[in-house]
Structure 1
Amino acid sequence: MINRWLFTQIDNSALIIFRVFFGFLIAAEAIGAIFTGWVKKTLIEPEFTFNFIGFDFLQPLPGNGMYFYFAIMGIFGLLVMIGYKYRLSMTAYTIMWAGVYFMQKSSYNNHYYLLLLLLIIMIILPAGNYFSVDVKKNPSLKKIAMPRWVVLLIIIQLWIVYTYAAVAKLYPDWLDFTVAKNLMAGRAYYPIVGPILQNHWAHVSVTYFGILFDLLVIPLLLWKRTRFFIFCLGIFFHLFNSIVFQIGIFPYLSLAFSVFFFSREKIHRIFMKKKEFYTANEVIVPSYKRFLIPIAIIWFIIQIALPLRHWFIPGDVLWTEEGHRLSWRMMLRGRSGITNFYVVDKNDTEARQQIIKKNDHLTKKQIRSVNTKPDFMWQFAQHLKKKYAAEGKEIEVYVKSSVSVNGKKRKVFIDPEVDLANVSWNYFTTNPWVLKYN
Structure 2
Amino acid sequence: MKRLFRQIDNAPLVIFRIFLGFLLACETFGAILTGWVKSNLVDPKFTFSHIGMEWLQPLPGNGMYWYFATMGVLGLLVMIGYKYRWTLGLFTILWAGAYFMQKTSYNNHYYLLLLVCLIMLFLPANRYASIDARLNPSVKKLTMPVWCSWVMILQVSIVYFYASLAKFYPGWLDGTFTRDLLHNSVTDPSLNSIMSQKWFYLFIAYAGITFDLLVVPFLLFRKTRTIALIASVIFHIFNAVTLQIGIFPFFALSFVVFFYPPEKIRKLFLRKKPPVTESNPDYQEGKSILLYFFIPYFILQLLLPLRHYFIKGDVLWTEEGHRLSWRMMLRARNGYTDFRIIDKKTGGRLFYNFKEKITHKQQNGMETRPDMIWQMAQHIREDFAKQGKDVAVYAETQVSINGGPYKSLINPDADLASADWGYFFHSDWVLLYDEKGNILK
Answer whether TM exceeds 0.5 for this pair. Answer: yes
**Out of 255, 258, 263, which is 1:257 matched to?**
255
Q: Distance between the aligned counterparts of 2:311 and 2:330, measured in 1? A: 19
SS in 2 for 1:421: coil
Name the aligned partner's letter for residue 255 of structure 1.
L
| Residue 116 (str. 1) matches residue 93 (str. 2) | no
Residue pair 1:401, 1:414 contacting (<8 A) in 2 also: yes
Residue pair 1:188, 1:195 contacting (<8 A) in 2 also: no
Q: CA deviation at 1:192?
A: 4.9
**Out of 216, 228, 232, which is 2:226 matched to?**
228
**Out of 216, 235, 238, which is 1:237 matched to?**
235
SS in 1 for 2:31: helix
Counting only pairs closer than 5 Å after superposition, residues 419-434 of structure 1 correspond to structure 2 as: 419-434=415-430
**Cα shift readout 1:360-380 (whole Å, capped 9, x = no counterpart):** 111111111211101001100
Q: Distance between the aligned counterparts of 1:421 and 1:195, measured in 2? A: 48
Q: Distance between the aligned counterparts of 1:152 and 1:221, measured in 2? A: 13
Name 1:359's counterpart in structure 2. Answer: 355
Q: Distance between the aligned counterparts of 1:292 and 1:207, measured in 2? A: 37
Name the aligned partner's letter for residue 418 of structure 1.
A
Q: Distance between the aligned counterparts of 1:223 and 1:146, measured in 2? A: 22
Q: Measured at CA, do residues 389 and 152 of structure 1 come closer, stay the same or move farther in structure 2, by a change above 3 Å?
A: same
Number of aligned residues: 434
Name 1:34's counterpart in structure 2. Answer: 32
Q: CA deviation at 1:184?
A: 1.3
**Cα shift readout 1:204-237 (whole Å, capped 9, x = no counterpart):** 1210110000000001011111111110111111
Counting only pairs closer than 5 Å after superposition, residues 153-168 of structure 1 correspond to structure 2 as: 153-168=151-166
Residue pair 1:339, 1:399 contacting (<8 A) in 2 also: yes
Identity of aligned residues (%): 50
Counting only pairs closer than 5 Å after superposition, residues 13-412 of structure 1 correspond to structure 2 as: 13-190=11-188, 192-286=190-284, 288-348=286-346, 351-412=347-408
Name the aligned partner's letter for residue 82 of structure 1.
I
Name the aligned partner's letter for residue 347 of structure 1.
K
SS in 1 for 2:185: coil
Q: CA deviation at 1:196?
A: 2.8
Q: Distance between the aligned counterparts of 1:26 and 1:337, measured in 2? A: 35
Q: CA deviation at 1:12?
A: 0.6
SS in 2 for 1:290: helix
Q: Distance between the aligned counterparts of 1:292 and 1:263, measured in 2? A: 22
Name the aligned partner's letter for residue 24 of structure 1.
F
Name the aligned partner's letter for residue 410 of structure 2.
I
Name the aligned partner's letter for residue 265 of structure 2.
I
Q: Distance between the aligned counterparts of 1:101 and 1:290, measured in 2? A: 29
| Gap regions ≥5 residues in structure 1 | none
Q: Distance between the aligned counterparts of 1:213 and 1:242, measured in 2? A: 16
Q: CA deviation at 1:284?
A: 4.2
SS in 2 for 1:340: strand
Q: CA deviation at 1:285?
A: 3.2
Residue pair 2:145, 2:285 contacting (<8 A) in 1 also: no
Q: Distance between the aligned counterparts of 1:323 and 1:292, measured in 2? A: 28
Q: Distance between the aligned counterparts of 2:263 and 2:190, measured in 1? A: 41
Q: Distance between the aligned counterparts of 1:353 and 1:222, measured in 2? A: 63
Worse-superposed segment, 139-148 or 185-194: 185-194
TM-score (structure 1 length as normaliser) = 0.97
Residue pair 1:188, 1:198 contacting (<8 A) in 2 also: no
RMSD: 1.3
Residue pair 2:156, 2:255 contacting (<8 A) in 1 also: no
SS in 2 for 1:174: helix
Name 1:436's counterpart in structure 2. Answer: 432
Name the aligned partner's letter for residue 118 of structure 1.
V
Q: Distance between the aligned counterparts of 1:87 and 1:364, measured in 2? A: 39
Q: Measured at CA, do residues 53 and 158 of structure 1 come closer, stay the same or move farther in structure 2, by a change above 3 Å?
A: same
Name the aligned partner's letter for residue 331 of structure 1.
M
Residue pair 1:169, 1:211 contacting (<8 A) in 2 also: yes
Q: Measured at CA, do residues 128 and 199 of structure 1 come closer, stay the same or move farther in structure 2, by a change above 3 Å?
A: same
Worse-superposed segment, 182-191 or 75-84: 182-191
**Cα shift readout 1:284-308 (whole Å, capped 9, x = no counterpart):** 4347423421322211111111111
Name the aligned partner's letter for residue 91 of structure 1.
G
Q: Measured at CA, do residues 354 and 194 of structure 1 come closer, stay the same or move farther in structure 2, by a change above 3 Å?
A: farther
Q: Distance between the aligned counterparts of 1:303 and 1:203, measured in 2? A: 31
TM-score (structure 2 length as normaliser) = 0.96
Name the aligned partner's letter for residue 181 of structure 2.
L
**Cα shift readout 1:155-194 (whole Å, capped 9, x = no counterpart):** 0111111000001101111111111111112124246534
Residue pair 1:413, 1:434 contacting (<8 A) in 2 also: yes
Name the aligned partner's letter for residue 139 of structure 1.
P
**Cα shift readout 1:224-261 (whole Å, capped 9, x = no counterpart):** 11111110111111011111111111100111111111
Worse-superposed segment, 274-283 or 111-120: 274-283
| Gap regions ≥5 residues in structure 2 | 435-441
